[in-house]
Structure 1
Amino acid sequence: MSTQIILPRIMQVGEGASQEISSVLASLNCQKPLIITDKVMVELGYVSRIKEALSKHNISCDVFDDTVPEPTIGSIMAGVDKVRNGNYDAIIAVGGGSPIDSAKAIAILGKYGGSMRDYKFPRIVNELGLPIIAVPTTAGTGSEATKFTIITDEANDEKMLCVGLGFMPVAALVDFDLTLSLPPRITADTGIDALTHAMEAYVSKKANAYSDSQALAAMRLIGPNLRRAFHDGKDKQAREAMMLGSTLAGIGFSNASVALVHGMSRPIGAFFHVPHGLSNAMLLPSVTEFSIEGAPERYADCARAMGIADSQDNTEQANQKLLSELHALNDELKVPTPSKFGIDQEQFLSLLEEMATQALNSGSPGNNPRVPSKDEIIAIYKTLWN
């Protein structure tokens, strides 16, 4: 059986890649881009660097910098209006997963109209919006190379998964230089997010030979370098490995789908405003422990790719080392428990039924090697307090 692989048309990878923005625009025959970003990217000077690179080639652009972390329907509408009222021929998305996800939604809604809920999975959105050039500034989401976007419906606190070719950036400029100033907390959360993408792509029921190659390569890069990047943000070798690993993990899960961690993570983010990578990190050890029996050899492969088990370890030994590593990683990277993050336990427990329902409705748990029942999802949520 064959597998369809969907990728950005252009990928510019390596130090200084973001400075090639003008030539990429020219290759797409685009001349009037809109930069979609957030105010932090403006303050850090990343947007001015992009604008300077464009101005050298006499390309002017406008900027929409009102995206927010964990984007909502409401937060993207001003950007949608800007696209509808402008005459733009491309979007440049600069930032972490939230600005890139916002840009994907704006590119579709700005061209076709309607409500974001109209584009929610299980609808597959293959209509092409404005072409997106993604310039990631974190090594985590892999959104620059995925056909997904996540937008929260604030009316019911649901993180809506939107899927299809229409959300795939046309180009990705993967420049690790842009991650050198990331603080340790963001480095940790986005790094574990990337690791989760790689692991879930590899154990997913939709995994294939191509996604396996990307996921394993990503784990080989992320496993030895996440701690290094966390402890020394100026470590260029570690930053470069993490950035490439994040993109490869994004390619892996975009072509194999994520699984239970992501299905359970989205409701935590929607109800309690926990950053996506951090909620993944909270869940990864418990979900892995639940799931191992469904694909023990695959999880052992993950341990070996990450460098925490070797060929001398049998499957059971490798999996024990994997579980120990995931707990140790959370400890060293100071991943908080839900209570330490500030979530009220009574409120958390009162929402378990709804959270489990949303997790199942997302479809992601169905890709897990061990597919959970609603009660099993609730039980895993409860373990986060122990």
Structure 2
Amino acid sequence: MISNYYMPTRIVAGSGSLATVGRLARDLGMTRALVVSDPVISAQGFHADALAALGEAGIATARFDECGIDARCSHIDDQGERVRRDGIDGVICIGGGSVMCTGKGIAIVATNRKPMAECTGVGNFDKRALSMIMVPTTAGSGSEVSQWTIVKDEARHLKLLGGGPLSFPDAAILDAVTLRSLPMRVAALPAVDALTHAVEAYLSAIGSPLTDAIAIGAVRLQFGSLRASINSDDERAREDNLVASCMANVACGNARLGHGHALSLPLEGHLDLPHPYGVGVLLPEVTAFNLAVLPAKVKPLAEALEVETLGLSRGETIAACAEAIRDLYADIAFPTRFTPEQLPAGRVREMAERAVPGLYAGIAARDYDHTTARDATVIACPSARKMTVLQAQEMFERCLA
């Protein structure tokens, strides 16, 4: 099998690395940058420090700090026009996944001169995005090293993915100082998202020994430090989780994401379920589902999840992997089931049908009629095992409270 690995983003990591943002911007040829953030992050001391470092490097800055839970097409289109109008030549994102996806979308729209919704899908634009620097403030999405951006088309209630090699960020700065203001319980949400990235990359049909090694290393590093990162003021654990989340996206950026993301997409678009809840609740189920056809990967994943495999059959080991994830959730106060408000029982079949186009369909998803799906219809997904609409429906039902 031919595999293709590509990771052009420069990664600068470690305590104090945020101070390099001005030099990095100057090295990229930026003279006037749009700094993208949200109202909470823009009030933090480290955000002010980053702006000061940019000023000292001679970089003029404009700001957009109105990002919300989702990256929204309306924000992206408006700011893309602003960037062109004001002669801005770079985008610097300081925030979580939605901030980085917003900034990435702005950088794409600014050079391609068409709405973000028309840029969704795989490689559906022709011009290189503006230069970008990403500063993650959660150990979660890994968007700082990803070519992909996930956006919400509010008019159609769709979550859409867009990207390609022309939209990789130029640099990512991983400094755990940005995690200090994050409430520990809130930190659980992006951390679980990062874990799904690593596990789903490992369970992909288009992975390679290279992505497998990075993915399993990310699982091991994160699983070994996540409880301490969430439940105590452990600076080293936070650093490990920040690096692990970056590694996870390096892996899934090349091996792609799986059933957890494909099935979560309609819940996010049509039921407004926050992304980490969707992929996180589904993770134990999709892990067991795919490990059933990956016998050689069962033990390595179990060991990364700190499962004692001695004396266990393969089936028992798979079940123990799913249970280890649920045990982690209990320790960090993350839910293991969907509430009736999050996923009404009467809409389960509809959500299974709406998952058919998968994560990477882009604008093609807008033309899909979910009522044409049948029990045997296969969900578009690069995971190792094919999943039908009926199997997705049954998985959703097992995840109900």
- Please classify the TM superposition score into its range, dividing by the shorter chain length: over 0.9
* 2:388 alignment counterpart: 373
* 2:111 alignment counterpart: 111
Q: How far, CA to CA, are the matches of 1:226 and 1:365 in structure 2?
A: 31
Q: How far, CA to CA, are the matches of 2:194 and 2:116 in structure 1?
A: 26
Q: How far, CA to CA, are the matches of 2:249 and 2:2 in structure 1?
A: 20
The percentage of counterpart residues that share the same residue type is: 27
Gaps of 5+ in 1: none
SS where residue 331 of structure 1 aligns? helix
Letter in 2 for 1:272: L
- Post-superposition Cα deviations, 1:155-211, rounded to whole Å, max 9, x if no partner, equal 221111113012210111111221122113331111111111111111100101221
Q: CA deviation at 1:334?
A: 2.1
Q: How far, CA to CA, are the matches of 1:313 and 1:247 in structure 2?
A: 32
SS where residue 160 of structure 1 aligns? strand
Structure 2 residue 295 is matched with structure 1 residue 280: no
* 1:334 alignment counterpart: 333
Structure 2 residue 246 is matched with structure 1 residue 247: yes
Letter in 2 for 1:373: T
Structure 2 vs 1, CA of residues 310 and 24 (structure 1 numbering), >3 Å: closer, same or farther?
farther
Query: CA contact under 8 A between 2:77 and 2:115: conserved in structure 1?
Result: no
SS where residue 294 of structure 1 aligns? coil
Q: How far, CA to CA, are the matches of 1:131 and 1:110 in structure 2?
A: 11
Structure 2 vs 1, CA of residues 344 and 378 (structure 1 numbering), >3 Å: closer, same or farther?
closer
SS where residue 29 of structure 2 aligns? coil
Letter in 2 for 1:255: N
Structure 2 vs 1, CA of residues 357 and 2 (structure 1 numbering), >3 Å: closer, same or farther?
closer
Query: CA contact under 8 A between 2:39 and 2:66: conserved in structure 1?
Result: yes
Structure 2 vs 1, CA of residues 313 and 384 (structure 1 numbering), >3 Å: closer, same or farther?
closer
* 1:21 alignment counterpart: 21
Worse-superposed segment, 123-132 or 56-65 = 123-132
Q: CA deviation at 1:324?
A: 1.3
Letter in 2 for 1:244: V
Structure 2 residue 150 is matched with structure 1 residue 135: no
Q: How far, CA to CA, are the matches of 1:304 and 1:48 in structure 2?
A: 42
* 1:189 alignment counterpart: 189
Q: How far, CA to CA, are the matches of 1:353 and 1:278 in structure 2?
A: 17
* 1:384 alignment counterpart: 399
Worse-superposed segment, 251-260 or 288-297 = 288-297
* 1:81 alignment counterpart: 81
Letter in 2 for 1:20: T
Q: CA deviation at 1:25?
A: 1.4
Q: How far, CA to CA, are the matches of 1:294 and 1:150 in structure 2?
A: 29
Query: CA contact under 8 A between 1:125 and 1:165: conserved in structure 2?
Result: no
* 2:376 alignment counterpart: none
* 2:369 alignment counterpart: none
Structure 2 vs 1, CA of residues 210 and 126 (structure 1 numbering), >3 Å: closer, same or farther?
farther
* 1:151 alignment counterpart: 151
**Where does 1:47-58 land on structure 2 (aligned, <5 Å)?**
47-58=47-58
TM-score, normalization by structure 1:
0.92
Query: CA contact under 8 A between 2:105 and 2:116: conserved in structure 1?
Result: yes
- Post-superposition Cα deviations, 1:267-302, rounded to whole Å, max 9, x if no partner, equal 212222222122111111122232221213323321
Query: CA contact under 8 A between 2:208 and 2:255: conserved in structure 1?
Result: yes
SS where residue 11 of structure 2 aligns? strand
**Where does 1:191-206 land on structure 2 (aligned, <5 Å)?**
191-206=191-206
- Post-superposition Cα deviations, 1:55-102, rounded to whole Å, max 9, x if no partner, equal 223332111112221122123232122212111111101101101001
* 1:293 alignment counterpart: 292
* 2:120 alignment counterpart: 120
Structure 2 residue 307 is matched with structure 1 residue 308: yes
Letter in 1 for 2:293: G
SS where residue 357 of structure 1 aligns? coil
Q: How far, CA to CA, are the matches of 2:359 and 2:242 in structure 1?
A: 31
Q: How far, CA to CA, are the matches of 1:374 and 1:360 in structure 2?
A: 15
Structure 2 vs 1, CA of residues 127 and 208 (structure 1 numbering), >3 Å: closer, same or farther?
farther
Q: CA deviation at 1:330?
A: 2.1
Query: CA contact under 8 A between 2:149 and 2:162: conserved in structure 1?
Result: yes
* 1:260 alignment counterpart: 259
TM-score, normalization by structure 2:
0.89
Letter in 1 for 2:286: V
Q: CA deviation at 1:312?
A: 7.2
SS where residue 323 of structure 2 aligns? helix
* 1:36 alignment counterpart: 36
Gaps of 5+ in 2: 363-378
Structure 2 vs 1, CA of residues 321 and 94 (structure 1 numbering), >3 Å: closer, same or farther?
same
Worse-superposed segment, 316-325 or 120-129 = 120-129
SS where residue 92 of structure 2 aligns? strand
Number of residue pairs aligned between Structure 1 and Structure 2: 384
Query: CA contact under 8 A between 2:9 and 2:145: conserved in structure 1?
Result: no
Letter in 1 for 2:87: N
Q: How far, CA to CA, are the matches of 2:308 and 2:268 in structure 1?
A: 32
